[in-house]
Structure formats: structure tokens, C-alpha cells
Amino acid sequence: MYKKSLLAAVLAAALLLLPACNNKGNNSPVSSTSTTGSTKTPTTATTNPPQSVNPLTGLTDIKKGEWVRPVAIMIGNNDRSRPQINIDKADMYMEAETEGGITRIMAVFAGNSRVPNTIGPIRSARTPFIKIAESLDSIYVHAGGSKTGKALLKTAEVGNIDALYGINNSAFWRDATLRRTKGLEYSMMTGGDKLAKRITAFKFSTKFSKPAPFTYGTSKKGAGAGNNVEIRLSALQTVSFRYDEESGLYYKINGTLAKGTQHKTQAGVAITATNIIVMYDKKYSENERTIGFNLDGGEGLLISEGTSRQIRWTRTKNSLKFTEYDGTALTLKPGKPYICLTDDDNQSKTVLS
């Protein structure tokens, strides 16, 4: 009897040990130490990577490892071209007359990784834009070009990506809906993912090797009015900007302040900028069709933070530089710049309020 009782006790003790052994084997990876570690891991993983200053805007939004060489894309801007697709993502804009009073926009991105995977409509190369793209050390994206534009591209120091050059076909496509509703020439699209492959294939540099066009920091305010501005770009095209004090942004209007319409993308996003820069220059006819500008230097106007003041600018193929009117350094408030290039004769037609 005693032996039976002893055997039963030993068996019971062994059975009690089995769950503990099994529990240790199944759950040891999620011990209290491991749980603490797993709680910390997501925090480390979601920490924002180091960022550097955007050379076009002065904002600290360039992610580590991003290509930093401007990509300048020619965008149609006549009535049939609007509303454009995703141009609100650009870091900088330049708008100027091309022919017959019609203007075009060059949307400039600080690097190719910032170009959305769909943007357009892509239009042809024109000399004023090529000159500015060269000064910015840009990769220049376009669909064909004027006779003078094509000639300049043979010598201009830009990374040239032409949609109409057969080898580049893979980087461009026609939007079927736009082709049907707007016409063939207003349907060309491109995207950053596809452009990256062409940039790599051409072995273009992906580093910014020329001086940044602007100096950013604490900017002084101008003495002139600057809540609203109307800028005459041609006999047919006036653009306006209206300041929103709360956001510190200027909202673009196609047309006059009284009769124009707010410039929005196809997705309904307004085109805005922190600094509006007007470059006055001598305009001339390149031929019976296209417009050119000297683009050596001249007077200008800065509209920012609800104020305005006169400035000066100079350009060579190696730099685009802006100064105060007296020649001292010009410092801008960080944010997107919108450059309007127009004829000297339109200086007196600029309206500030």
C-alpha cells in the first residue's frame, strides 16, 4: 500500500512539471525582455531620416540619398492644356511667352525622385526656358522643340530628354482621354519613375554642380504693396497672385484679379508660391513665330509676405543670380518661387495692391 501511494505521488509531481516545460518552450520568444524590445523597435524604424536643404526652396525636405539635380519639365499652359496634371508638386516655376501671346510653364523639381509618376501635358522646348534650365544645371524634359530651341539644345549644358527622340519612348506616353478630348499635342505625359531609367541610361550626373539661384533665410519685407499683383506676360496673357496671410502663400490666378480664374490642377489643387519674382527683360521675335529674350540681366520685382520691392538679376550659362536693387545680397523666405519672365515694356503695366 505504501509503495502504491509513493508511486502515485511521484507520477502526480511529474504531471505538474509537464505544463511548465511546455510553456517555456512555446513562449520564450515573447518573454518580458523580448516584448520590451519589440515595443522599442517600431519607434526606431519610424524615426524620420536625416534631411538636407532644398536648393530651390530653402526648405529642409530633401531625403538622405535623393538625387539633387534639378529636373525642368516643359508644361503646356494654353486653355487646351489646362487643367494640368500634378504640376503643383514642383519646387519652382517659370512662366513666359512662347508665341502669339501664349505662355508656357517650366515646372522645376529639385531632383528626379520628387517628380510625380504622372505629369503633363509635356510640350516643346523654347529658348528662354532652355537658357534658364542651363543656368540651373537642369535635366531638361520636353517633346520636340522650335527650330531655335533645337539649335540651342545642341550646345546647351543640360541633360536633354526629348519625348520625340525614339530612344526615349519608354519614358513618355499619351493619355487616351486627353488625346480624345483635347487633341494629340495636349496628351503627352511622363513620370519620375520612367525618367529615372533614362537618366541612368544616359549616365547623366545626379548632383547639382552650379550655384543655387536663391539665398534663403530671414527675409526683410519690402516697402511696396504686395497683397495682390497683376503681371502682364503678353498682349493675351495676364497672371495674378493673391496673398493669403494665414498660410503665407500666394494663390495664382490666370487672368486679372477681377476676371481671372484660380489656377488649379486636374485634381483641383491650387498652384501656390511663397515668393513671386518678376524678371523684366528685352523681348524679341526669333522668327515669324517664336519669342526670345536676351536673358543677360535686368531689373525685377519681388513680391513676398504681402509686400514688394525692386530687385536685380543676372544670368550666365553657369548661374542665375538675384540681388537687392542696390546690388547687396537678396535673402528670400523659404518656400516655392514662381518666376514670371516678361518684356521690359510690361514693367509699367504691373499692378500692385
Cα separation of 113 and 111, whole Å? 6
Query: What are the DSSP calls for 244-299, one per residue?
Result: ETTTTEEEEEES-TTT-EE-B-TT-PBPEESEEEEEEE-EEESSSSBEEE--SEEE
Percent of the chain topping pLDDT 90: 85
CA–CA gap between residue 4 and residue 15 (Å, rounded): 17
Question: Can you tell me the distance from the alpha carbon of 243 to that of 99, in angstroms, rounded to the nearest whole number?
Answer: 29
- Tens digits of residue pLDDT in 343-352: 999 999 999 9
Give the mean pLDDT of the chain.
89
Query: Max alpha carbon distance in the chain (Å)?
Result: 122
Over residues 242-255, the pLDDT tens digits come to: 999 999 999 999 99
Quote the number of domains for the chain. Answer: 1
Rg value, the chain, Cα:
29
Confidence (pTM):
0.86
- How does residue 32 score in pLDDT terms, banded at 50, 70 and 90? very low
Supply the CATH number for residue 204's domain.
3.50.90.10
Residue-wise pLDDT tens digits, 135-157 = 999 999 999 999 999 999 999 99
Which grid cell is 204?
547623366
Q: Which domain holds residue 89?
A: 65-352
Written as nine digits, the cell of 229 is: 499683383
Task: Assess whether pLDDT exceeds 60 at residue 128.
Answer: yes
When pLDDT is cut at 50, 70 and 90, the band that residue 88 belongs to is: very high
Contact in structure between 123 and 74 (CB atoms under 8 Å): yes
Residue 29 CA to residue 26 CA, distance in Å, equals 8
Tell me the CA end-to-end span of the chain in Å, nearest whole number: 111
In a domain, 13, yes or no: no
Coil/strand/helix, residue 203 = coil
Q: pLDDT at residue 6 above 50?
A: no
Structure confidence by residue, pLDDT tens digits, 208-220 = 999 999 999 999 9
For residue 101, what are the contacts with CB-CB under 8 A and spacing of at least 6? Answer: 234, 235, 236, 237
Residue 54 lies in a domain: no
18 has pLDDT over 80: no
Instruction: Give the span between the Cα atoms of 131 and 158, in whole angstroms.
Output: 9
**What is the C-alpha separation between 308 and 229, in angstroms, rounded?**
9
The pLDDT confidence band at residue 48, using thresholds 50, 70 and 90, is low
State the CB neighbour count (10 A cutoff) for residue 127. 23
Helices (H), the chain: 2-27, 32-45, 127-135, 147-153, 176-181, 192-202
- Neighbouring CB atoms inside 10 A of 191's CB total 17
Q: Which helix (H) or strand (E) holds 61?
A: strand 60-63
Q: Is a pLDDT exceeding 90 seen at residue 45?
A: no
pLDDT value of residue 102? 98
CB 120 within 8 A of CB 138: no
Does residue 251 belong to any structural domain of this protein?
Answer: yes
pLDDT at 157: 97
- Say if CB 178 and CB 108 are below 8 A apart: no
Is 8 a domain residue?
A: no
Within-domain flag for 31: no
- Domain assignment of residue 27, yes or no: no
Which are the contacts of 85, defined by CB distance < 8 A and separation ≥ 6?
118, 119, 120, 121, 189, 265, 266, 267
Confidence of residue 337 (pLDDT cuts 50, 70, 90): very high
Query: Over 90: is that where the pLDDT of 89 sits?
Result: yes
Which long-range contacts link 39-46 to residues 24+ away (Cβ below 8 Å)?
A: none
What pLDDT, on a 0 to 100 scale, did the predictor assign at position 65? 87
Is residue 145 within 8 Å of residue 153, measured between CB atoms?
yes
Tell me if 339 is assigned to some domain. yes
What burial class does residue 182 get, using C-beta atoms within 10 Å of its C-beta: 0-12 exposed, 13-18 middle, 19+ buried? Answer: middle
Determine, yes or no, domain membership for 198. yes
Residue carrying the nine cell digits 537687392 = 324
Residue 241 neighbours by CB under 8 Å, 6+ apart? 228, 229, 231, 250, 251, 252, 253, 273, 276, 303, 338
**What mean pLDDT is predicted for residues 231-250?**
98
